Amino acid sequence: MKQFDIPATYRSSFISTIKKSRKDSDPRKKDFTPTLLDFGSVQFLIARHFGFCYGVENAIEIAYKAVEENPGKRIYLLSQMIHNPSVNTDLRSMGIQFIMDTQGNQFVEWNELKTEDIVIIPAFGTTLEIEGKLNDIGIEIQKYNTTCPFVTKVWKQSEKLGKGDYTIIIHGKHKHEETRATFSHSSEFSQSIVVKDMEEAKRLGEFIEGKMSIEGFHSYFKEYYSEGFDPEKLLTRVGVVNQTTMLASDTQAIADYFKDIMLAKYGEKQLSEHFADTRDTLCYATNDNQQATFGLLKEKADLAIVVGGFNSSNTSHLVELCEEKLSTYFISTEEEILNTSRIRHFNFHNKQMLMTRDYLPKKEPLRVILTSGASCPDAVVDGVMDKLLSFYPDHKSKEQILSEMGIS
């Protein structure tokens, strides 16, 4: 796989070294068991796979190249490059301005942009409507387009479904930048509708089964389908794609649900005429991170700490998985670990910061699950580990850990 030129400050001489050792010994990723780092009084279980993915490193490399190649020019990002606060802060410090926030609210109006300005398209991609606005201004958009190839893979799958005359059901979060971009691109090829979870999928299923009125459909899904959507005609042939950072198990369950509905309604002989059995469009890194988290959760631990941006979809899903088994704290940097008795963390369910006391059980050895999302630098995870280690002054050194693991 291609090696990207990203700032060394994002890497960790410790975490990155261990990850490389695991990769070298298991290049085909057949072993998703975690790595145990035994510092004595505290132990860490780190996932087989976590942190920066191909798409993120590609986006960062292109953004830094845009700054290097365009001295004196105004450089803009459509919105956050990736969902990580430290990376986005670094980009701002380099003079890159953000045109809008993650919800699409404008910081810079379109009429303020000039033909000679540089605009970087983030890893999530963007809508055809925004591409059109930039083209109308005369801004070249492909040179610094960092759209993840796994996102464009979803768009290609949508095109294939459209050519087969299937209606596209997108499993994704309605307001997420990637889902907005995918909805825009898929709607070019076919009529499209977004469902965020199984509950919404079942409401859509009720209409297909004749259990919901046309008025009920339009009321429930009114902002989530493409223009001119006629559910009575369009929901007889469907295929499912997804926002690449959703839980793989959820996407599969939703696809299976619609397949079962079509099977019951039209019979096995007619199934392929009404349901496109698409291959999963989840990105490899999201899938690997989730599989590695399942591997983590097979081990006994006292708590879990998941590191990443609070608006990161793939990170929130890792938190969701960990929460099912043990106390889990979602943080963005080590600064949210205040001391041995207090931690500030994010509840992604209600979008609120919480303060929890006595989060560290008073036992030795304490065993902590530590992982991160696909947009989190290894250096940030390393900082979290260092902060926790500082509470245990008699711990082994990192050099000793690497030596015991036979890693030089």
Which active-site residues does the annotation give?
178
Counting beta carbons within 10 angstroms of the beta carbon of residue 265, is it exposed (0 to 12), middle (13 to 18) or buried (19 or more)? middle
Q: How many helices (H) and strands (E) does the chain have?
A: 15, 14
CA distance to 10, 52, 78, 268, 368, per residue, from 16 (Å): 10, 10, 30, 50, 19
CA distance to 192, 295, 327, 374, per residue, from 282 (Å): 18, 19, 27, 13
Cα 86 from Cα 52, distance rounded (Å):
13
SS (H, E, C) 313-371: HHHHHHHHHHHCCCCEEEECCHHHECCCCEEEEEECCCCEEEEEECCCCCCCCEEEEEE
Cα 271 from Cα 327, distance rounded (Å):
44
Which H/E stretch holds residue 89?
Answer: helix 85-93
Q: Which residues pair with 119 in a beta bridge?
A: 76
Output the DSSP codes for 167-223: EEEEES-TTSHHHHHHHHHHHHHS-EEEE-SHHHHHHHHHHHTT-S-HHHHHHHHTT
Can you state the angle between helices 248-266 and 198-208, rounded to 10 degrees? 10
